[in-house]
Amino acid sequence: MEAILGLIFTIVSATAAVGSFFLDVFKLKKEKLQIETQPQQPSITPTPITANQQIDFIYPDRPLDVNSTLYIERPPRESLCYQRILQSSALIRIKAPKQFGKTSLMDRILHHASQKEFKTVRLNLTRLEDQFLTSLDIFLKWLCNRVAAELKPESQVDNFWDDKNTGSMINCTKYFQLHILSLETPLVLALDGVDKLFRYSEIAQNFFPLLRTWHEESNNIEIWGQLRLVLTYSTSPYIPLSINVSPFNVGLPIELQELNREQAWELAQRYQIPKCSINHAEQLMAMVGGHPFLIQLALYHIQRGDFTLGEILQTAVSKEGIYINHLDEYLHYVQSDATLNDLFKKVVFAKEKIQVDNQQLIPAYKLNSKGLVKMQGNDIEISCDLYRQYFQKTLNRIEASQN
C-alpha cells in the first residue's frame, strides 16, 4: 500500500509533463468557452412575490441561505457547477472579490450535492487561527481532524501519522484514502477562502500541489474519484507554483462578475421596493457599480424605510452615510501597508487605467481581492465612483493634516 501511495508523489517524465501541460491548457480553454458561449439569457422577469409571503430582510453581511429569495443567479454559472459536482473527481474554482457571493454559491453547490446523498464538508479558512498555520504538518493534521469531525467517524489521525518514516503529505493522503474516502460515498470538500494560505509560503507551496494530486489521482486509484473539491478565493494566486502542479489551472473555473442592470433591478423587486424602476437601479449603479454587497446594503435600508435612494446617494461618502463602516474598514486596510497605500493613491487620483509592473502585482492583487480595483492583465483602475469619491476626499484630508 505504501508503494501505491508513493506513486502520488512520483515525478513524471518530461514527456508526460509536456502532454499534461497541453491537456490542462485545452481543458481550461474549453471550460472558459463553455461559460462565454452559452446562449444569451432573456431579460430577467421579476420573480412573483405574493402579498403574504414572508421574507427575512437580514442585514447583508453574511452568505444568503440556500432557500433565500434574495439570491440572484448569474447564469450559466450555477447550472455548470451543479452538473460538474456530480462528476467523478470534480474540481470547481470560484473566484471573485470579497462580498461578491462566492460563499453563497458554494453553499448552493453543497446543498445540490447533499440532495444526491453526497457527504459534504465546508471549512472556512478565513477564520482559521494562526496557531494551525505555523507549519505544514500542523495544518494538515488540522485539516484531517476537521474533516473527520464533520463526517463524525472517529478521527484516528494519530494511527495514520508516521512522523519518522514519511512526510506529512503522504500521511495526510493515506488518511484520506484509507479513512475518509472509505465511507464509500462521494465527498464534497469545500474550502472557503483558500487565498488566506497565499501568505504562508511553506503551506501554500505544498498544500496546493497536494490538492492537484488528489484531483488527478482517480486516474490511478479509483477511490479518489469519490473526492470532489470546491475552492473559493478572492484574487489570482501570487505564490510561485508550476503550472504542472497548480490546482488553479484545472477543473471548472467560475469567476463571479458584478451584477448587471437587469440583475440589480430583479434584486430590487425581491426587496419589495415601492415604485421600483430601472432608473432607480441605474442611479444606484452609477455610484456603486454592480458590486452585489453595496447594492444590497442600499436596498436593505430603503426597504426598512431608513433612507430614500436620494438620501443614500447624497450622503454616500459622509459620516452619516450607510457605507461609512465599510469605507472606513477599507481605509484602515489600505493604510496598514505602505505598498498598498502608495499604489492605491495612484489609482484613486488617476483619470484612467494605470499599468503596474511586476513588483506591484502583489499589492494590486490584494486591492483586487477587496474589490477596490478592477484588474485586466497589468492594468488596474478604481472599481466604482463610491470608492473614488471617498478616498479622494479622505486621502486629501489626511495629507493636509500631515502637512
CATH number of residue 177's parent domain: 3.40.50.300
Q: Is 293 in the same domain as 313?
A: yes
126 belongs to a structural domain: yes
Sheet order of strands, 379-382 included: 354-355, 379-382, 373-376
Q: Is 116 in the same domain as 170?
A: yes
State the cell numbers at 305: 424605510
Q: Is 147 in the same domain as 265?
A: no
> pLDDT: is 3 or 394 the higher one?
394
pLDDT for the residue 276: 53
Q: Is 122 in the same domain as 238?
A: yes
Instruction: List helix spans (H) across 192-248.
Output: 201-216
49 belongs to a structural domain: no
Over residues 396-400, the mean pLDDT reads 89
43 belongs to a structural domain: no
195 belongs to a structural domain: yes
Number of folded domains that form the chain: 3
Q: Is 341 in the same domain as 389?
A: yes
Residue 35 has pLDDT above 60, yes or no: no
pTM: 0.86
Give the residue from 255, 270, 287 where a domain finishes.
Answer: 255
pLDDT for the residue 278: 60
Q: Is 99 in the same domain as 239?
A: yes
109 belongs to a structural domain: yes
Q: Is 198 in the same domain as 157?
A: yes
pLDDT for the residue 42: 33
270, 47 Cβ separation under 8 angstroms: yes
Q: Which residues contact 140 (CB under 8 A, 6 or more apart)?
A: 168, 169, 171, 172, 207
Tens of pLDDT along 276-294?
Answer: 556 677 889 999 999 999 9
Tens of pLDDT along 142-185?
Answer: 999 999 999 987 888 999 999 888 999 999 999 999 999 988 89
pLDDT for the residue 24: 38
42 belongs to a structural domain: no
Residue 95, φ and ψ in degrees, nearest 5: -120, 135
Q: What percent of the chain has pLDDT over 70?
A: 85
Segments of 74-226 assigned E as strands: 91-95, 119-124, 187-192
Confidence of residue 139 (pLDDT cuts 50, 70, 90): very high
Over residues 316-322, the mean pLDDT reads 97
State the cell numbers at 93: 474554482
pLDDT for the residue 220: 93
Choose among 231, 291, 240, 239: nearest CA to 264.
291
Give the residue from 255, 282, 305 where a domain finishes.
Answer: 255
Q: Is 293 in the same domain as 166?
A: no
Q: Is 387 in the same domain as 309?
A: no
Residue 5 has pLDDT above 70, yes or no: no
pLDDT for the residue 267: 93
Q: Which residues contact 231 (CB under 8 A, 6 or more apart)?
A: 91, 92, 93, 94, 190, 191, 194, 211, 247
Over residues 120-139, the mean pLDDT reads 97
76 belongs to a structural domain: yes
181 belongs to a structural domain: yes
Q: Crossing angle for the helix pair 77-84 and 14-36, nearest 10 degrees? A: 140
Query: Is residue 294 helix, strand or coil?
Result: helix
Strand partners, 374: 381
Confidence of residue 384 (pLDDT cuts 50, 70, 90): very high
Residue 20 has pLDDT above 50, yes or no: no
Judged by average pLDDT, the poorest of 22-31, 79-88, 304-313 is 22-31
Residue 37 has pLDDT above 90, yes or no: no
Q: Is 165 in the same domain as 236?
A: yes
Over residues 244-254, the mean pLDDT reads 97
Kind plus residue range of the DSSP H or E element containing 162: none
Residue with cell string 505544498 = 206
Kind plus residue range of the DSSP H or E element containing 382: strand 379-382
Give the residue from 293, 322, 351 where a domain finishes.
Answer: 322
pLDDT for the residue 6: 46
Alpha-carbon span 129 to 123, nearest angstrom:
13
Instruction: Quote the domain boundaries for residue 268.
Output: 261-322
Over residues 48-68, the mean pLDDT reads 77
Residue 108 has pLDDT above 90, yes or no: yes
Q: Is 292 in the same domain as 152?
A: no
Q: Is 310 in the same domain as 362?
A: no
